[in-house]
Amino acid sequence: MVLTDFACVLADTARSRAYIQTLLQHDMIPAKCLVMSEGAGVKISREIPCKWDAQQFFDLDESIFETMETHGISYKVVASRDINGDEMRSAIQEFPQQYILYSGYGGAILRPHLFRMGKRWIHVHAGILPFYRGSTTAYYSLLDCDKMGAAAIFLNERIDEGSVIASEEFPPPPRGEFVDYVYDPYIRAQVLVKALKSYIQNGEFHEMPQTAQGAETYYIIHPVLKHIAILGVDFNEETK
Protein backbone atom coordinates (compact mmCIF):
# COMPACT_ATOMS: atom_id res chain seq x y z
CA MET A 1 0.00 0.00 0.00
CA VAL A 2 1.40 3.37 -1.03
CA LEU A 3 0.73 6.00 1.64
CA THR A 4 -0.07 8.88 -0.68
CA ASP A 5 0.07 11.60 1.99
CA PHE A 6 3.22 10.32 3.71
CA ALA A 7 6.83 11.13 2.79
CA CYS A 8 10.19 10.61 4.50
CA VAL A 9 13.33 12.66 5.01
CA LEU A 10 16.08 10.21 5.92
CA ALA A 11 19.77 9.86 6.57
CA ASP A 12 21.20 6.40 5.98
CA THR A 13 21.41 5.47 9.65
CA ALA A 14 20.47 2.36 11.60
CA ARG A 15 17.19 4.03 12.57
CA SER A 16 16.24 4.85 8.98
CA ARG A 17 17.13 1.33 7.88
CA ALA A 18 14.84 -0.07 10.56
CA TYR A 19 12.04 2.31 9.56
CA ILE A 20 12.07 1.49 5.86
CA GLN A 21 12.41 -2.26 6.32
CA THR A 22 9.68 -2.39 8.96
CA LEU A 23 7.28 -0.29 6.91
CA LEU A 24 7.74 -2.68 3.99
CA GLN A 25 7.13 -5.68 6.26
CA HIS A 26 3.72 -4.15 6.99
CA ASP A 27 3.01 -3.31 3.32
CA MET A 28 3.41 0.42 3.92
CA ILE A 29 5.26 2.33 1.22
CA PRO A 30 6.09 6.04 1.52
CA ALA A 31 4.98 8.04 -1.50
CA LYS A 32 8.32 9.89 -1.61
CA CYS A 33 11.67 9.78 0.16
CA LEU A 34 14.32 12.45 0.41
CA VAL A 35 17.74 11.16 1.41
CA MET A 36 20.32 13.37 3.09
CA SER A 37 23.74 12.18 1.97
CA GLU A 38 27.24 13.37 1.20
CA GLY A 39 28.35 9.98 -0.08
CA ALA A 40 27.12 6.78 -1.63
CA GLY A 41 26.31 4.94 1.58
CA VAL A 42 27.28 4.79 5.23
CA LYS A 43 29.40 2.28 7.10
CA ILE A 44 27.74 1.81 10.49
CA SER A 45 30.29 1.09 13.20
CA ARG A 46 29.06 -1.42 15.77
CA GLU A 47 30.16 -4.12 18.16
CA ILE A 48 27.66 -6.98 18.45
CA PRO A 49 28.75 -10.48 19.55
CA CYS A 50 28.30 -12.93 16.69
CA LYS A 51 26.25 -15.35 18.80
CA TRP A 52 23.47 -12.74 18.99
CA ASP A 53 21.48 -12.51 15.78
CA ALA A 54 20.66 -8.84 15.15
CA GLN A 55 18.74 -9.78 11.99
CA GLN A 56 15.84 -11.10 14.05
CA PHE A 57 15.00 -7.38 14.33
CA PHE A 58 16.05 -5.97 10.94
CA ASP A 59 18.99 -6.17 8.53
CA LEU A 60 21.41 -3.62 9.90
CA ASP A 61 23.81 -4.16 6.99
CA GLU A 62 21.29 -3.28 4.24
CA SER A 63 21.43 0.41 3.31
CA ILE A 64 18.26 2.37 2.73
CA PHE A 65 19.35 2.78 -0.90
CA GLU A 66 19.42 -0.99 -1.38
CA THR A 67 16.03 -1.40 0.28
CA MET A 68 14.33 1.37 -1.70
CA GLU A 69 15.77 0.28 -5.04
CA THR A 70 14.83 -3.35 -4.44
CA HIS A 71 11.22 -2.36 -3.68
CA GLY A 72 10.86 0.46 -6.21
CA ILE A 73 10.41 3.27 -3.68
CA SER A 74 10.75 6.72 -5.22
CA TYR A 75 13.59 8.73 -3.69
CA LYS A 76 15.79 11.74 -4.31
CA VAL A 77 19.24 12.38 -2.85
CA VAL A 78 20.23 15.82 -1.59
CA ALA A 79 23.98 16.21 -1.09
CA SER A 80 23.70 17.77 2.33
CA ARG A 81 23.62 16.74 5.99
CA ASP A 82 21.87 19.97 7.01
CA ILE A 83 18.10 19.57 7.40
CA ASN A 84 17.80 23.34 7.83
CA GLY A 85 19.77 24.29 4.71
CA ASP A 86 18.42 25.92 1.56
CA GLU A 87 18.89 22.77 -0.54
CA MET A 88 16.76 20.73 1.81
CA ARG A 89 14.09 23.40 2.05
CA SER A 90 13.79 23.60 -1.74
CA ALA A 91 13.53 19.82 -2.06
CA ILE A 92 10.93 19.55 0.71
CA GLN A 93 8.81 22.28 -0.86
CA GLU A 94 8.40 20.06 -3.93
CA PHE A 95 6.67 17.37 -1.86
CA PRO A 96 2.85 17.51 -2.05
CA GLN A 97 2.59 15.21 0.99
CA GLN A 98 1.35 16.72 4.24
CA TYR A 99 3.03 14.28 6.63
CA ILE A 100 6.82 13.87 6.67
CA LEU A 101 8.72 11.38 8.77
CA TYR A 102 12.04 12.86 9.84
CA SER A 103 14.95 10.52 10.59
CA GLY A 104 18.07 12.59 10.07
CA TYR A 105 21.50 12.73 11.61
CA GLY A 106 21.77 12.82 15.39
CA GLY A 107 21.76 16.17 17.15
CA ALA A 108 19.99 18.20 14.45
CA ILE A 109 17.07 20.40 15.54
CA LEU A 110 14.49 21.59 13.03
CA ARG A 111 14.44 25.38 12.72
CA PRO A 112 11.22 27.46 12.69
CA HIS A 113 11.08 27.91 8.91
CA LEU A 114 10.44 24.17 8.46
CA PHE A 115 7.29 24.42 10.56
CA ARG A 116 5.92 27.17 8.31
CA MET A 117 5.80 25.02 5.17
CA GLY A 118 2.37 23.52 5.80
CA LYS A 119 3.88 20.11 6.71
CA ARG A 120 3.40 17.95 9.81
CA TRP A 121 6.73 16.52 10.90
CA ILE A 122 6.65 13.06 12.49
CA HIS A 123 9.45 11.94 14.79
CA VAL A 124 9.70 8.82 16.93
CA HIS A 125 11.36 9.62 20.23
CA ALA A 126 13.24 7.01 22.28
CA GLY A 127 11.19 7.24 25.45
CA ILE A 128 7.66 7.47 26.80
CA LEU A 129 6.60 11.12 26.85
CA PRO A 130 6.45 13.37 28.77
CA PHE A 131 8.35 11.27 31.31
CA TYR A 132 11.53 10.80 29.27
CA ARG A 133 12.28 13.91 27.24
CA GLY A 134 15.76 14.77 26.07
CA SER A 135 18.83 12.70 25.20
CA THR A 136 19.88 9.04 25.69
CA THR A 137 16.58 8.37 27.44
CA ALA A 138 16.67 4.66 26.59
CA TYR A 139 19.40 4.18 29.17
CA TYR A 140 17.66 6.24 31.84
CA SER A 141 14.52 4.17 31.28
CA LEU A 142 16.50 0.93 31.63
CA LEU A 143 18.00 2.19 34.88
CA ASP A 144 14.67 3.43 36.25
CA CYS A 145 12.35 0.56 35.41
CA ASP A 146 14.20 -2.08 33.35
CA LYS A 147 12.12 -1.19 30.29
CA MET A 148 12.44 0.88 27.14
CA GLY A 149 9.80 2.86 25.29
CA ALA A 150 9.15 5.00 22.24
CA ALA A 151 6.66 7.71 21.33
CA ALA A 152 5.71 8.99 17.89
CA ILE A 153 5.04 12.74 17.95
CA PHE A 154 4.33 15.68 15.71
CA LEU A 155 7.38 17.87 16.09
CA ASN A 156 7.00 21.49 17.09
CA GLU A 157 9.46 24.23 18.00
CA ARG A 158 9.83 22.93 21.57
CA ILE A 159 12.07 19.89 21.98
CA ASP A 160 10.13 16.64 22.58
CA GLU A 161 6.93 18.49 23.49
CA GLY A 162 4.79 17.83 20.41
CA SER A 163 1.49 15.94 20.45
CA VAL A 164 1.88 12.17 20.88
CA ILE A 165 0.29 10.05 18.14
CA ALA A 166 1.42 6.61 19.39
CA SER A 167 3.55 5.15 22.18
CA GLU A 168 4.48 1.80 23.63
CA GLU A 169 6.75 0.23 26.27
CA PHE A 170 9.02 -2.73 25.52
CA PRO A 171 11.05 -5.22 27.56
CA PRO A 172 14.83 -4.74 27.65
CA PRO A 173 16.86 -5.99 24.68
CA PRO A 174 18.55 -9.42 24.65
CA ARG A 175 21.95 -7.80 25.17
CA GLY A 176 23.10 -4.34 26.22
CA GLU A 177 25.18 -4.01 23.06
CA PHE A 178 21.94 -4.07 21.09
CA VAL A 179 20.56 -0.80 22.47
CA ASP A 180 21.97 1.88 20.14
CA TYR A 181 22.17 0.23 16.75
CA VAL A 182 19.52 -2.49 16.89
CA TYR A 183 16.89 -2.42 19.64
CA ASP A 184 16.31 1.32 19.87
CA PRO A 185 15.76 1.64 16.07
CA TYR A 186 13.64 -1.51 16.13
CA ILE A 187 11.21 -0.35 18.82
CA ARG A 188 10.92 3.09 17.25
CA ALA A 189 9.99 1.41 13.97
CA GLN A 190 7.27 -0.61 15.74
CA VAL A 191 5.75 2.56 17.18
CA LEU A 192 5.90 4.29 13.79
CA VAL A 193 3.91 1.42 12.29
CA LYS A 194 1.43 1.64 15.17
CA ALA A 195 0.87 5.34 14.44
CA LEU A 196 0.41 4.75 10.72
CA LYS A 197 -1.98 1.84 11.25
CA SER A 198 -4.15 4.13 13.36
CA TYR A 199 -4.04 6.75 10.61
CA ILE A 200 -5.01 4.24 7.94
CA GLN A 201 -7.87 2.88 10.03
CA ASN A 202 -9.27 6.23 11.18
CA GLY A 203 -8.32 8.57 8.34
CA GLU A 204 -6.44 10.81 10.79
CA PHE A 205 -3.88 10.69 13.58
CA HIS A 206 -5.14 10.65 17.15
CA GLU A 207 -3.21 13.49 18.80
CA MET A 208 -2.66 13.51 22.55
CA PRO A 209 -1.19 16.81 23.77
CA GLN A 210 1.50 16.42 26.40
CA THR A 211 1.06 17.84 29.87
CA ALA A 212 3.68 19.07 32.29
CA GLN A 213 2.64 16.52 34.89
CA GLY A 214 5.42 14.00 35.36
CA ALA A 215 7.56 15.62 32.65
CA GLU A 216 11.29 15.10 32.96
CA THR A 217 14.10 16.20 30.64
CA TYR A 218 17.33 14.22 30.55
CA TYR A 219 20.77 15.09 29.22
CA ILE A 220 23.44 12.87 27.64
CA ILE A 221 24.05 10.08 30.09
CA HIS A 222 27.42 9.75 31.83
CA PRO A 223 29.47 6.84 30.39
CA VAL A 224 29.56 5.12 33.79
CA LEU A 225 25.75 5.17 34.10
CA LYS A 226 25.44 3.95 30.52
CA HIS A 227 27.76 1.06 31.31
CA ILE A 228 25.72 0.20 34.41
CA ALA A 229 22.53 0.13 32.31
CA ILE A 230 24.17 -2.21 29.77
CA LEU A 231 25.50 -4.47 32.54
CA GLY A 232 22.00 -4.60 34.01
CA VAL A 233 20.57 -5.88 30.75
CA ASP A 234 23.34 -8.46 30.39
CA PHE A 235 22.87 -9.66 33.99
CA ASN A 236 19.15 -10.12 33.47
CA GLU A 237 19.80 -12.19 30.36
CA GLU A 238 22.38 -14.40 32.10
CA THR A 239 20.04 -15.14 35.01
CA LYS A 240 17.02 -16.15 32.90
The half-sphere exposure of 159 on its side-chain side, counting CA atoms within 13 A, is: 12
3-state secondary structure of 18: helix
The pLDDT score that the predictor gives to residue 174 is: 84
What kind and span of H or E run contains 239? none
pTM of the shown model: 0.92
* Residue type at 2 in one-letter notation: V
- Cα distance between residue 178 and residue 175, in whole Å: 6
- Cα distance between residue 19 and residue 233, in whole Å: 24
Residue 40's Cβ-count burial label (10 Å; 0-12, 13-18, 19+) is: exposed
The pLDDT score that the predictor gives to residue 49 is: 47
Would you write out the chain's pLDDT as a tens digit for each of its 240 residues? 999 999 999 999 999 999 999 999 999 999 999 999 876 555 555 544 444 566 689 998 899 999 999 999 999 999 999 999 999 999 999 999 999 999 999 888 999 999 999 999 999 999 999 999 999 999 999 999 999 999 999 999 999 999 999 999 999 998 887 899 899 999 999 999 999 999 999 999 999 999 888 899 999 999 999 999 999 887 666 555
The pLDDT score that the predictor gives to residue 106 is: 84
- Kindly give the pairing relationship between strand 2-11 and strand 99-103: parallel
Cα 1 vs. chain centroid, distance in angstroms?
Answer: 21
